[in-house]
């Protein structure tokens, strides 16, 4: 019975597939120079996120949170063009949102240590693979901490309403960075207390591939080829 438990895969998408798919989506959206051409890439990113994360509300929340960043970058690019290229505003907004949705595959579809196991299985050094895995653990924690930080800031009257969050990015970021640094320190102590040595560390179980993992790469690769050729 029990040895089967070691074969259970936690990631909804294989970590390597997710990494490749996100890299291809990022490349495609960077290649596209027009808003219309960018929309199919964003749609692909959204569909893959929906299939992997299966929580439309979560995707919508993150898309909304990054809205000011997309608009801000767009406005900056518009001003840098001497006020001549207004189309840069929607283009950069679409780029940012596409990346946010694509990143969902890695942030919510992949289990942190399975990402490290997968990289290790490729022959990458233990310190590198485990660092990526631990960074992923910290990312997941930061995503969870964000809600706590926002709730705390609302309690202290620093954020008046959910909409107000969009204009208080600096305050939220400062509190989140402090919380993330504290979290990183705790994780470091926890790993040390349990004898973690990146050089000696060996994964305890495999991370099997499935048909859908391959399909995600094929879809992302197709979008990339279309973007590159057209």
Partner 1 sequence: MLRLRALRARRGEWKGPEVNASIGEGSVVALVGPNGSGKTSTLLAVAGLLELEGSVEIDGVELSSIDRRTLRSTVSYVPEDPTSYVVRNYVLDEVLAGPEFLGMDPGEALRRSLEALEAVGLRERADDPVEHLSGGQLQRLVMACSLVTSPSVLLVDDAVSQVDSDGRKAIAEAIGEAVKRGTTVLIAVSDLERLPLRPDSVIELPHDREEELRLPELLVPRNSGMRAFLEAKGVRFGYPGVGELIKDLNLRAEAGEVIGITGPNGSGKTTALKLLTGLLRPQRGKLLLNGSRPSPPRSLYMPQNPDPILTERTVWEELEPLVAAKLIASPDAELKAELERTPISRLGAGSRRVLAAYLLAARRPSVLALDEPTAGLDRRNSRLIGSLVREAASRGSVVLVSSHDESFVESVSDRVFRVEGGRLVEL
Does 182 interact with partner 1 (rule: CB under 8 A)? yes
- Which residue from 63, 91, 119, 175 is in contact with partner 1, where contact means CB under 8 A? 175
* CA–CA separation, 134 and 18 (whole Å): 17
Does 189 interact with partner 1 (rule: CB under 8 A)? yes
- Which residue from 84, 122, 155, 170 is in contact with partner 1, where contact means CB under 8 A? 155
165 vs 64, 137, 141, CA distance in Å?
Answer: 10, 25, 20
Q: How far is the CB of 220 from partner 1 (least distance, A)?
A: 24
Question: Nearest Cα to 146, choosing from 225, 86, 58?
Answer: 58
**Can you tell me whether residue 125 is helix, strand or coil?**
coil
- Nearest-Å Rg of the Cα atoms of the chain is 20
- Which residue from 34, 43, 55, 214 is in contact with partner 1, where contact means CB under 8 A? 55
Q: How far is the CB of 39 from partner 1 (least distance, A)?
A: 29
Q: How far is the CB of 168 from partner 1 (least distance, A)?
A: 12
Q: Is 136 buried (19+), middle (13-18) or exposed (0-12) by CB count in 10 A?
A: buried
Nearest CB to partner 1, comparing residues 80 and 190: 190
- Which residue from 8, 122, 229, 230 is in contact with partner 1, where contact means CB under 8 A? 8
Q: Which 105-124 residues touch partner 1, going by CB under 8 A?
A: 111-113
Q: Is 14 buried (19+), middle (13-18) or exposed (0-12) by CB count in 10 A?
A: buried
- Which residue from 23, 36, 178, 228 is in contact with partner 1, where contact means CB under 8 A? 178
Q: Are 13 and 216 in contact (CB under 8 A)?
A: yes
Does 170 interact with partner 1 (rule: CB under 8 A)? no
Does 201 interact with partner 1 (rule: CB under 8 A)? yes
Does 9 interact with partner 1 (rule: CB under 8 A)? no
């Amino acid at each position: 019975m029990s040895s089967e438990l070691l074969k259970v895969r936690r990631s909804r998408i294989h970590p390597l597939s997710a990494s490749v798919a996100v890299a291809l989506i990022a490349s495609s959206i960077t290649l596209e120079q027009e808003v219309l051409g960018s929309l199919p890439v964003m749609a692909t990113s959204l569909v893959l996120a929906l299939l992997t994360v299966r929580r439309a509300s979560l995707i919508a929340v993150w898309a909304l949170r990054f809205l000011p960043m997309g608009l801000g970058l767009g406005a900056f690019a518009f001003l840098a063009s001497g006020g001549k290229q207004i189309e840069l505003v929607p283009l950069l907004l679409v780029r940012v949102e596409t990346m946010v949705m694509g990143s969902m595959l890695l942030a919510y579809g992949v289990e942190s240590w399975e990402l490290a196991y997968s990289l290790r299985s490729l022959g990458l050094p233990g310190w590198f693979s485990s660092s990526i895995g631990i960074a992923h653990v910290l990312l997941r924690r930061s995503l969870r901490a964000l809600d706590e930080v926002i709730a705390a800031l609302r309690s202290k009257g620093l954020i008046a309403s959910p909409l107000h969050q969009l204009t208080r990015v600096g305050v939220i970021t400062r509190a989140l960075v402090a919380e993330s640094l504290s979290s990183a320190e705790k994780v470091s102590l926890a790993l040390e207390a349990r004898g973690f040595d990146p050089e000696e560390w060996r994964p305890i179980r495999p991370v099997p591939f499935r048909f859908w993992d391959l399909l995600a790469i094929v879809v992302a690769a197709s979008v990339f080829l279309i973007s590159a050729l057209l």
